Amino acid sequence: MLLQRAYDDNAVRTRELLVEGDAIARALAEAGITYVPLKGWHTILDGWWNDPATRVLRDLDVLVPEADAPRALDVLTQAGFAPIDEPLDDYADHQLPAIASPRHPLSVEIHTALAVSRWREVLPAADVLAAARGGRMSTTHAVIHSIVHAELHDEAHLLRHLPLRALHELAVVAQSAAASAIDWDEVRSRFGRAGRRASAALDAHLGSARSLFGAQVPARSAPSSSARVRAHLALCQLELVSPRAARAYRATVFVPRAWGEARLHRLYGDGNVWRLRARHVRRRLRFGRPAGGS
């Protein structure tokens, strides 16, 4: 009964989101702004799911050219969408602040890129917009975006998390009619040109999707990565059963970034980096967490 109620509630919310999506698409099209639906919105419009109500949508994400982003925000504001008082942090340099629907309890995020600047090279927005047809991104780009967002943008690979929704979604599209449209050579190439860490994240994602959901996806990019993929999955599963280990690991992997020169200058201003690090340590010992981030 609990699962049935959750399904029924999500079916209503999905219908509301799709109605809002139609309104957004009309407003942007009438203004002459090129747009591409992203993430869950795209997967439903592209028919990945036999039943759209089985895909949970938290909000609607739409990609527009960076030069058109301010005008897109104005167009949707005129259509009744209102700013949400939740400012973005410095990490979120790929989108505008979310706006809220005047009719339903949902938000819309206008994106100018597919991921934060650190991983933007994997899938540049210009490539997605150029390859889009009929206002839809290509299936290959949608698969790349799902993996980039889960493993690199949200840092599941670094943190040894299992992004279950993205893994399941890959298994779904891999057995759908859209599977034949996935260019796996392009997928490999785009992750490969972003470096070894990106390629390792792709291998881990494909391996986890095969292991957990039986996804019909290609094998790893190189035989030598097999052991790394198995080790990654084992660590992810360990963190699921040991929250204490997960917290310790997360604190450890973030140390280099927390002590990075750019971050310390952002938190404390100009100055000698070692003095800033000493100041950071004193502040952590005194308050536990500095203003502006962990």
pLDDT tens per residue across span 254-272: 666 666 676 677 778 888 8
DSSP-H helix ranges across the chain? 2-30, 39-45, 69-78, 125-131, 139-147, 156-159, 164-174, 184-193, 196-213, 226-241, 243-253, 255-258, 261-268, 273-287
Assess whether pLDDT exceeds 80 at residue 294. no
223-237 pLDDT, tens digit each: 556 777 778 778 777
- Give pLDDT tens digits for 189-218: 999 999 989 999 999 999 999 989 999 998
Q: Which residue has the tokens 């991983």?
A: 119
Question: Does residue 97 carry a pLDDT above 90?
Answer: no
- Mean pLDDT score across all residues of the chain: 86
Bridge partners of residue 62, in order along the sequence: 37, 110
pLDDT at 291: 42
Q: Which pLDDT value is given to residue 148?
A: 96
pLDDT of residue 290: 43
Q: Which of 137-141, 158-162, 243-247 is predicted least confidently?
A: 243-247
Q: What percent of the chain has pLDDT over 70?
A: 88
Residue 134 dihedral angles phi and psi, to the nearest 5°: 60, 30
Kindly report the pTM of this predicted structure: 0.81
pLDDT tens, position by position, 57-96: 888 999 999 999 999 999 999 988 988 876 655 566 888 8
- Residues near 199 by Cβ (< 8 Å), separated by ≥ 6? 188, 191, 192, 221
